Chains A and B, each alone.
Chain A
Amino acid sequence: MLKIEAILQPSKLDAVKDALLEAGIEGMTILEARGHGRQKGHTEFYRGREYTVDLLPKVKIELVILDDLKEKAIQAIVGAARTGRIGDGKIFVSRIDEAIRIRNDERGETAL
């Protein structure tokens, strides 16, 4: 089992969600987040005062999938979220030891 965490531009969430569904991945968790990578942020002006906003609104999606869906999931996210500009986000993949379905105590891959 793998966990895929992807940090995205909020405006790309719907496209990524649809692409993942199309790739056969059904469960996901969405978190509203703030952050920055190399993009750094932008400036705002209020009554002539310049404010640097370095933590930008982002969306983080988390999904836990079977190992052989890894490339499909990554392709779906990259394909839907890429604009080619700085700030498109990142994907992290990590291994998951155990999954438990709370409703009926199913364990492992069947719990996904």
Chain B
Amino acid sequence: MRSRTLSLFFLPFFAAIPAIAQTAAATPASGAPVTQDQIAALQKAVQNAQSAGDNAWMLVSAALVLLMTGPGLALFYGGLVRKKNILGTMMQSFAMMGLVTIIWAICGYSLAFGHGNSFIGSFEHMFLRGVGLTPNPDYAATIPEQTYMVYQLMFAIITPALITGAFAERMKFSAMAVFLSLWSLLVYCPMAHMVWGVGGLLNASGHMIPSLDFAGGTVVHVTSGVSALVTCIYLGKRIGYPHTNMPPHSMVLSFIGACLLWVGWFGFNAGSALAASPLATSAFINTHFAAAAAAFGWVVAEWIHNGKPTALGAISGAVAGLVAITPASGFVQPFAALAIGVVAGAFCSFMVFAVKSRLGYDDSLDAFGVHGAGGTLGALLTGLFATSAINAVYGKGVPTGAFEGHWGQMLNQAAGAGIAWGISIVGTLILLFVVDKVIGLRVSPEQESAGLDLTQHGEEGYDLNS
């Protein structure tokens, strides 16, 4: 069975064929005992096969996660703004694809995943020094470290891009570029290191505060959502909010964007298994189930509340469910994912309908209501539903989540979310203050009413007369 799988796997690889043929055919024919060399060759072939499978899946996953930012998030957010701001909004996501990539290559990856202290990595991998095509067993023993590096880069890209939803339609492009570039260094890298980095404070396999975060509920969604809240309060409301109508200019674009987010999220969550393993399947199913259940939860809540099930409600709910399942996706059973989804859909719709208007902040596209609130909820629910049957982080059969009897996990989860809140509030406030003093955050009122497309980029999204 094993040798058949192997030969199937290696059929296309010219180099490997002679080796396989030797181990499979030569041994029984001669009747001689198997030599150490042959065992070593077989082990090497097994490793190569696993590496080929895992690497294929991880490269696809990396591409899927990039698909979430552009076009996914760009379309989702772009459709929700007024039409004079669509290019400005899409450019904010796209700018992250460029800027964060450069930062990541220079020092971001090193600060997040280098050997540092409990809070941040080091400069050992600056300019990707030592990040080659051999695996780094600290993180993923079967894929080239460059695959791991580029996969993590895609997370670093989407996280600041999510924040742009809170300050839509009113920030200077220059200020946005500087603010979010620095944010990725000051907030994202330390948080990623704490949760996933070797020796990180919150690393689930570490010995300090094992906070479970499979695919970035705290690292990506709590940090971006809370920073979004801080930014929209610091920046103030859009001119005319909340009295002027500011409806989405194209629900169709948002709809396409949200569906691309859903598909891309399979790479985000299932890819976080870092291998084409059964755990990846588990995360894949959970991701899909939670999105479906949350779309249902949001729409039902809205139907009761406003009397109509809206398209925007359905897609917002799906995104909320995807956010909430992110930390839990590799730790829970499918029915727990359904439960997490329904709760997330109802809870996030409440945050968006009731809490936002009660408190009066202008989180324009609900980056906090969906990512901050959904991410925090997901972090806590992960502690509730995590089970050693799916992912035995503490050892086989050792209780993982609260429902298995390990209630202490709830404290670990709260600590993880709390630290994400703290670092986001402090880091974002410092950066906003500095960038506001040096560049100025907001466009002028005249520019705001003319729109970001014309005033920041000298272009228009729609020119139907040309």
Contact = CB atoms under 8 A, between A and B. Distances in A.
Given A46-B312, A47-B316, A47-B353, A52 B306 contact: no
Interface in A13-47: 44-47
Report whether over half of chain B's contact residues are helix, strand or loop; otherwise say mixed. Answer: helix
A102 interface: no
A47 B313 contact: yes
Contacts of A49: 242, 357
A57 to B, nearest CB: 14
B247 A46 contact: yes
A48 B363 CA distance: 14
A46 B353 contact: no
Most buried by A among B242, B305, B310: B310
Interface string B202-242: 00000000000000000000000000000000000000001
B245 A52 contact: yes
Interface in B246-278: 247-248
Most buried by B among A44, A48, A51, A53: A48
Nearest to B310: A45
A53 B245 contact: yes
A32 to B, nearest CB: 12
Nearest to B365: A47
Contacts of A50: 306
A48 B353 contact: yes
A51 B306 CA distance: 12
A45 B245 contact: no
Contact of A45 (B306, B357, B366): B306
Most buried by B among A47, A50, A53: A47
A50 B349 CA distance: 15
Nearest to B80: A46
A47 B245 contact: no
B247 A44 contact: yes
Contacts of A52: 245
A48 B247 contact: no
B367 to A, nearest CB: 12
Nearest to A50: B306
A74 to B, nearest CB: 34
Interface in B335-356: 349, 352-354
Nearest to B349: A48
A45 B304 CA distance: 13
B318 to A, nearest CB: 14
Given A45-B306, A45-B308, A46-B310, A51 B366 contact: no
A51 B245 contact: yes
B306 A48 contact: yes
Contacts of B245: 51-53
A53 B247 CA distance: 10
A33 B343 CA distance: 44
A51 B241 CA distance: 12
A49 B312 CA distance: 11
A46 B250 CA distance: 12
B145 interface: no
Contact of B352 (A44, A48, A51, A53): A48
B302 interface: yes
A47 B247 CA distance: 10
A45 B305 CA distance: 11
Contacts of B366: 47
Interface string B278-317: 0000000000000000000000001001101010110010
Given A45-B306, A45-B308, A45-B310, A51 B353 contact: no
Contacts of A53: 245
B349 A51 contact: no
Interface string A60-92: 000000000000000000000000000000000
Contacts of B305: 48
21 contacts: A45-B302, A45-B306, A45-B308, A45-B310, A46-B247, A46-B248, A46-B310, A46-B312, A47-B312, A47-B313, A47-B316, A47-B352, A47-B366, A48-B302, A48-B306, A48-B352, A48-B354, A50-B306, A51-B245, A51-B247, A52-B245
Interface of A: 44-53
Which 6 A-B pairs give the minimum distances between C-beta atoms?
A48-B353, A51-B245, A51-B247, A45-B306, A47-B352, A46-B247
